[in-house]
Copies of this chain bind each other. A is one copy, B any other.
Amino acid sequence: MSAVLRAFLVPIVLLYAPTVFAAEDPLPAWNDTDAKQRIVGFVEAVTDPAGPDYVSPDERIAVFDNDGTLWSEKPAYFQLLFAIDRVKALADKHPEWKSKQPFKAAIEGDMETLVGSGQEGLLELIMASHAGMTPKEFQSIVSDWLATAKHPRFERAYTDIVYQPMLELLAYLRQNGFTTFIVSGGGIEFLRGWSQRVYGIPPEQVVGSSIKTKYELRDGKPTILRLPDVNFINDKAGKPVGINQYIGRRPIAAFGNSDGDFEMLEWTSAGEGPRFGMIVHHTDAERAYAYDRQSHVGRLDKALDEAKENGWVVVDMKNDWNRVFPFEN
């Protein structure tokens, strides 16, 4: 750049940039409580080049659980509801399912028996309904489902049942040079088809559970095939393992809502330098749901007990959020 151009251009850019950000609150759905103040305080600290807590942009890695943190997980994991719908859709081709658990329960909508079949039963359901096609074909099935299926209580698409304050938080972090990753117990390819559209998170920034895949020529055409075998369960102690495997460095900020996120929060917080941990506590039965220690889905017990000691922010949804879902008012 010529010196003349630089002298000309730089002051304009400097003048212009702060104007935009000072003008509007980046987190309008957050009440001005301790939680919001701590988020903003952390972001300002790590982005202040003159401050002691400055972190270079490439190290500003933030990881987000999905179920119960970015979107709802009630009345059950949305991916489980998807798997049930898939089993129903495929039932005609599998007459044996009518008398075989957990398929029978899925077809009959018997949630109690389904949940009672435990992780093994649910995995069986997912394997049977999620394998045998390419990732692209699978994502297209997921997209079709998301375009038509409705949440039983809110009667809207599942991708509408996302938390407005968390969408704002994702955008706020990215505006401040963070790279935002999803680190979910849910299926990686279940998420990748819509994470960009809904969260602004591209496929390569999604970490999740996976089944095995295989490369082969199908009718001479190079293809990746989804196989009915578990590859990796990205939950609990699997989350730091998944983060290390996919991202290859320790995040400086982690956001979760259940004991399944404990190790991810623990590992993130134990790094050197400024760290941020946050737990979304579901305290709002009126606008959304209220649950914690006794819940089958999204149990929050140990992580709640140890939050204070670890310096994690516990978001009280009822009091900290003035708006829960984007579709409110």
Q: How far is the CB of A7 from the nearest CB of chain B, in Å?
A: 12
Q: Residue A284 at the B interface, CB < 8 A? A: no
**Copies of this protein chain in the complex:** 2
Contact indicator B244/A206 (Cβ below 8 Å): no
Q: Residue A240 at the B interface, CB < 8 A? A: yes
Stretch at the interface among A8-16, A34-42, A125-133: A8-16
Bound-complex Cα distance A61 to B203 (A)? 12
A215: contacting residue among B61, B189, B203, B237, CB under 8 A: B237
Identity of the chain B residue whose Cβ is nearest the Cβ of A189 in the assembled complex: B248
A229-244 contact mask (Cβ, 8 Å, vs B): 1 or 0: 0010000011011001
Give the B-binding residues of A (Cβ under 8 A): 1, 5, 8-9, 12-13, 16, 58, 61, 135, 179, 188-189, 192, 196, 202-206, 210, 213-216, 221-222, 224, 231, 237-238, 240-241, 244-249, 263, 266-267, 270
15 further contact pairs, Cβ within 8 A, besides A5-B12, A224-B244: A5-B16, A8-B12, A58-B202, A61-B204, A135-B248, A192-B248, A203-B247, A203-B249, A204-B246, A204-B248, A213-B245, A215-B238, A222-B240, A222-B266, A224-B240
In the complex, 19 of the A-B residue pairs with CB atoms within 8 angstroms, ordered by the A residue number, are A5-B12, A9-B16, A58-B202, A179-B204, A188-B248, A189-B248, A192-B248, A203-B249, A204-B204, A204-B246, A204-B247, A204-B248, A206-B248, A213-B245, A214-B237, A215-B238, A216-B237, A222-B270, A246-B246
